[in-house]
Amino acid sequence: MDEIIENIHEAKRITAFTGAGMSVESGIAPFRGKNGLWNEFDPQAFASASAFAEKPERCWKLFKIQIEESFDADPHDGHYSLVELEEHGLNSVITQNIDGLHQKAGNDSVLELHGSLSRLICPSCQNRFKTKSFLEDIYEGYIPRCECGKILKPDVVLFEESLPQDILQQAWKEAENCDLMFSLGTSAVVQPAASIPTMAKRSEAKIVEINLEKTPLTEEVSDHFLKGKVGEKLPELINLL
Ligand code: NAD
Ligand code: ZN
């Protein structure tokens, strides 16, 4: 811990890179592993662009659960620690999560690599809407539609879709420019997002990883590995600053 504290004090520009494990303690199911959504929903059938084009109603079974979970969830101490870390040089949060919890906690700059459940988009006329304004209907089981009649899609990156290039570019720039990166609750296997800590490392940033278990980053990329829950380990660390 002492060495990490020293690294944080020395760092001028800190970035946090977060994955589904960041939200688990807020009650949001990850995709893989225990209680993972993919144990119940086949990703190809429920969360791919082709599935949405053919059977959007079926995809909405999954979207409804994800939207309700996210709107019902509250940030935990780990999220609030990242807000506190802004006073010690945290410049931005790069997240693979689509639940909006970093913004709810109050972080200033959040780069959402996989989009957000807080918006819906029409696949035909590309109009965007606030999910909030359809929330009651969604809870009641209605599937939201655009004025043009098409079923709306959460503004998130589905399988077979590419990441928003402008956000990805910004994330890469952050990775190159930071001198310390936290990698929090991510299995670091989904590309190209998983390459972000590797990129930071190549630009000589220190990498601090917190996860319940080792990942491909742990031995190869991370300078420090804290094994445990991000909602416990991160506040412990920040309290020592
Ligand atoms: P992942 O499911 O592949 O991995 C989650 C990682 O978090 C695992 O390595 C696990 O060991 C770790 N973990 C679980 N609970 C933890 C805790 N309390 N503290 C610390 N670590 C913990 O998720 P990923 O790496 O983000 O990548 C896969 C995809 O999952 C992304 O595409 C993302 O969009 C999507 N996803 C997002 C959400 C969300 O928005 N909350 C939920 C499910 C999936
Ligand atoms: Zn439309």
The pTM for the full model equals: 0.95
List the pLDDT tens digit at each of the 241 positions of the chain.
Answer: 899 999 999 999 999 999 999 999 999 988 877 778 888 899 999 999 999 999 999 999 999 999 999 999 999 999 999 999 999 999 999 999 999 999 999 999 999 999 999 999 999 999 999 999 999 999 999 999 999 999 999 999 999 999 999 999 999 999 999 999 999 999 998 888 889 999 999 999 999 999 999 999 999 999 999 999 999 999 999 999 9
Ligand 1 contact, 114 CB (< 6 A): yes
- Beta-carbon contacts of 139 under 8 Å, excluding residues fewer than 6 positions away, are 68
Residues with CB under 5 A from ligand 2 (ion): 122, 124-125, 146, 148, 150
Which value, to the nearest 10 degrees, does the dihedral of the CA atoms of residues 103, 105, 111, 117 take?
-50
Structure tokens at 52: 């949405």
Q: Which of 62, 111, 162, 190 to mutate to test the pocket of ligand 1 (most atoms within 8 A of CB)?
A: 190
